[in-house]
Structure 1
Amino acid sequence: MEYTHCPVISATGLFTPAESISNEELVESFNRYVEEFNAANAAAIAAGEVEELQPSSVGFIEKASGIKSRHVMAKAAVLDTATMAPRWDERGDDELSIMAEIGVKAAREALERAGRKPEDVDAVLCAASNMQRPYPAMAIEIQQALGIDGFGFDMNVACSSATFGIQTAADYIRAGNARSVLVVSPEITSGHLNWRDRDSHFIFGDVATAVLVEDSAMAPAEHWEILGTRLKTVFSNNIRNNFGFLNRATPETEGTADKLFVQEGRKVFKEVVPMVAQMIVDEAERLDIDAQGLRRLWLHQANAGMNRLIAQRVLGHEASEDESPTVLDTYGNTSSAGSIIAFHKHSEDLAAGDKGLICSFGAGYSAGTVFVEKVG
């Protein structure tokens, strides 16, 4: 009988930056900037030539998102009203890049938890929203730093990058082209966020995650069988980032609002929630899984209200924190890493046979589902 390769999640890893910014700190900084801007432009504002900026509040942020704090790689510069962007020492081309550095840290934890050595791994996929450079691939740099003899490449599907990476890794396993694949998602979102925009400056945080996808034949006794995956994309401009010289950025326009993260939040909410909920239900039916019987949902950590509605449509009732755990409150939106953080922190308590769902959704629009079952 021909052997069928079965992909599983053997382990996950997480790197969390040491520094964190609370909503109170963020609002104090932002409102100070608003006061300085309005004072400096008082005459133009009075003449109707410049729009007066409005202050933010802790209540506004928490009602809009559910976020209470977020981790960042460079706190002081973000809160400095003269900068309001991350700053760190530039590294030479012969030094490990900051994005690879945090990706390696998350990857090493995943390998350690699975009892793996670098030589056991065949491939590295760097699946993330906010790449540090076009090339050479971040994945190859991470591969080199870990000492893995194989191949690597980058992939970007915005906030769905990790789930798209997991399906890609699973497909390599199913085809017999690899036995062990690291999906690494280093998300330094602070470098692409407009910290001077009242409607979005509070959204993102920095982090790195890693998922080790392997053939069940070599997996540790306790692992997660990947029951099925489904990916979906529908083009939309409602979430966009124009960063890059190809969009004719100049020294005068580099880093300005139109080159950074922007979104039409209300449109995203209205359009993405039903799309993702229906996608989950349809895929569960295809896999002959009772969606309402799922033990846990590890949803994309973008917005508490979106997750609440999606979980309710899937489970048929208001989800408890146990059924749909949240890390959004302390991590913020960490793009593709969000659902993986939730899975990493809230999966060990499940029993053998329990089924769950890792799901992401974001710009594109893009959405990915990974149905899993606990083994061992």
Structure 2
Amino acid sequence: MTIRAAVRGVGHYLPERVVPNSEFEAIVDTSDEWIRSRSGIERRHFAADGQTTSDLATRAAQAALADAGIDGSQIDAIIVATSTPDLTFPSVATMVQAALGITRGFAFDIQAVCAGFVYALANANALIVSGQATRVLVIGAETFSRLMNWQDRTTCVLFGDGAGAVVLEAVEGTGTTADRGILATDLNSDGRYKDILYVDGGTSTGTTGHLVMEGKEVFRHAIEKLAETARTALDRAGLTPEDVDWIVPHQANIRIIEGTAKRMQVPMERVVVTVQDHGNTSAASIPLALSVGKQRGQIKPGDLLVMEAIGGGLAWGSVVLRW
């Protein structure tokens, strides 16, 4: 018998405020056409004043639990991937735990920026396979609008806020690639590249700081590393790109998404794309895309998915999962 970590439920939440590209024309030298042509983004959502990352995470968690048909009392662990916590500590995950009325199990955050949800899935998988948990709520949630430099037109137009969540649970498998659940993972980082994508604040400065990015350098690393990590995870699972039904990528930039799919020789018709509606929501982007992809009728039971992401660190990785 093989234990797999399978998706039982998925859900998401987006703040009510929708921000079209045209809103940025009044504050920086940009245009709707400029933003679309370079990123594929048409609109994004921004959290309301007083609305926190834990608020978004809780709403997404509630949606995933409802989709799974269970309540919080059946959850053993909560993992939240975020780079925009409400406070330095305690973790967002413990705040979600309290908001859901859960008084058992354990909760913690993971910080791997845009790769956070992939890292969180890999850790949740390890908890389930090792027997430390039966059901894990995995959430990606961000309020990146609070980290923006509104004078930097190259970054402030790219990011949005939101949250997505999945309920993973232990299921019995046969040990073959036909099993439901996570079949393989691959995680990587290389701290030599920290200066091409970072936030210039924290305990060293006493400020929250703003996001700083060398776009061309990030783009150069992204396509190569994303395609490589996806192929590595598929190899570990004993599968090939031809077996993939859907790539569900980090939604950072349509050119990165297209470039990665091309390197993997997977047509764009088999890629779930939501960047046009959400912008880059960092750790929230993959679970948002999973939830929207299911709602659209794209992702169906038995489909083979590859999720891949790269973020500051640099940190990157991928997960192969059968829905």
TM-score, shorter chain, exceeding 0.5: yes
Q: 1:251-330 residue pairs with structure 2 within 5 A?
A: 254=207, 259-314=209-264, 316=265, 319-320=267-268, 322-330=269-277
SS of the residue 1:5 aligns to? strand
The answer for unaligned runs of 5 or more in structure 2 is: 174-178
Residue 217 (structure 1) shift: 5.2
Determine whether 1:204 maps to 2:201. Answer: no
Determine whether 1:99 maps to 2:53. Answer: yes
Determine whether 1:134 maps to 2:88. Answer: yes
Q: Which residue of 2 aligns with 1:247?
A: 204
Percent of counterpart pairs with the same letter?
Answer: 27
Contact persistence 1:186–1:337 (CA under 8 A):
yes
Q: Aligned letter for 1:151? A: F
SS of the residue 2:307 aligns to? strand
Q: Aligned letter for 2:205? A: R
Q: 1:129 to 1:228 in 2, by over 3 A?
A: same
Q: Aligned letter for 2:198? A: R
Q: Which residue of 1 aligns with 2:32?
A: 58
Q: Which residue of 2 aligns with 1:84?
A: none
The partner residue of 2:196 within 200, 215, 238 is 238
Kindly report the root-mean-square deviation, in angstroms, between the aligned alpha carbons of the 2 structures: 1.9
Q: Aligned letter for 2:184? A: G
Q: Aligned letter for 1:110? A: A
Q: Distance in 2 between matches of 1:13 and 1:350?
A: 13
Q: Which residue of 2 aligns with 1:227?
A: 183
Q: Distance in 1 between matches of 2:116 and 2:124?
A: 12
Higher strand share: 2
Contact persistence 1:10–1:224 (CA under 8 A):
no
Determine whether 1:152 maps to 2:150. Answer: no
Q: Distance in 2 between matches of 1:350 and 1:60?
A: 31
Determine whether 1:169 maps to 2:114. Answer: no
Structure 1: 4+ residue segments shifted above 6 A: none
Question: Which range is displaced more, 223-232 or 327-336?
Answer: 223-232
Q: Which residue of 2 aligns with 1:50?
A: none
Q: Distance in 1 between matches of 2:58 and 2:172?
A: 25
Residue 132 (structure 1) shift: 2.1
Query: Could you tell me the TM-score, scaled by structure 1's length?
Result: 0.79
Cα deviations by residue, 1:71-96 (Å, 9 ceiling, x for unpaired): 0013xxxxxxxxxxxxx25xxxxxxx
Q: 1:112 to 1:360 in 2, by over 3 A?
A: same
Q: Which residue of 2 aligns with 1:80?
A: none
Q: Distance in 1 between matches of 2:181 and 2:283?
A: 21
- Higher RCO (CA-CA < 8 Å; seq separation 6+): 2
Q: Distance in 2 between matches of 1:199 and 1:282?
A: 32
Contact persistence 2:140–2:287 (CA under 8 A):
no
Q: Which residue of 1 aligns with 2:317?
A: 368
Query: Could you tell me the TM-score, scaled by structure 2's length?
Result: 0.92
SS of the residue 2:41 aligns to? coil
Q: Aligned letter for 1:66? A: G
Q: Aligned letter for 2:283? A: S
The answer for unaligned runs of 5 or more in structure 1 is: 32-54, 75-87, 90-96
Higher Cα radius of gyration:
1
Q: 1:65 to 1:344 in 2, by over 3 A?
A: same
Q: Aligned letter for 2:317? A: G
